[in-house]
Amino acid sequence: MTQDQQHERARIRAAMDRLLAGQAMASNGGLTVVALAAEAGVHRMAIVKRHADLKNEFYERIRKETRGVPEAEKRLRETVTKLKKTIANQKAEIEELRQLVTNLTLASAVLTQQTDILQETLPPVPGNVVQLRPPTR
């Protein structure tokens, strides 16, 4: 590991300590990788790509020291909850639509049968005349 990488890791660890102590100097003080990167003065992708172990260490320290859940995990859990509700609503809607299709199919069958019965009971229509509705009795 180069001298620059060691220095960068030291800055990230110092930034972790400041954030967890609530003494942010260069960021908004949030317990996120974005705030950690701003606090350490490094690009966020440097933490995510080159120093993934420090990112994991940061989240582990958040869990242990604050007895809380990292912000990113909270947002993901909220998203999962919303998606589960959406899926449940869609399943209910699909079931309603299936019932509607069944009912409409049955209604169509009944109407077709009634039309056939009516056509059998009506007198034949002369020539090319098309009867639009059955006569009233």
- What pLDDT, on the 0 to 100 scale, is given for residue 11? 94
Ranges in the chain, pLDDT < 50? none
Record the pTM. Answer: 0.53
N residues, the chain = 137
For residues 19 and 61, membership in a common domain is answered with yes
Number of domains composing the chain: 2
Domain annotation covers residue 123: no
- What pLDDT, on the 0 to 100 scale, is given for residue 137? 62
- What pLDDT, on the 0 to 100 scale, is given for residue 125? 62
- What pLDDT, on the 0 to 100 scale, is given for residue 92? 97
For residues 19 and 48, membership in a common domain is answered with yes
- What pLDDT, on the 0 to 100 scale, is given for residue 135? 65
- What pLDDT, on the 0 to 100 scale, is given for residue 22? 87
Which positions ≥6 away from 80 have C-beta within 8 Å?
none
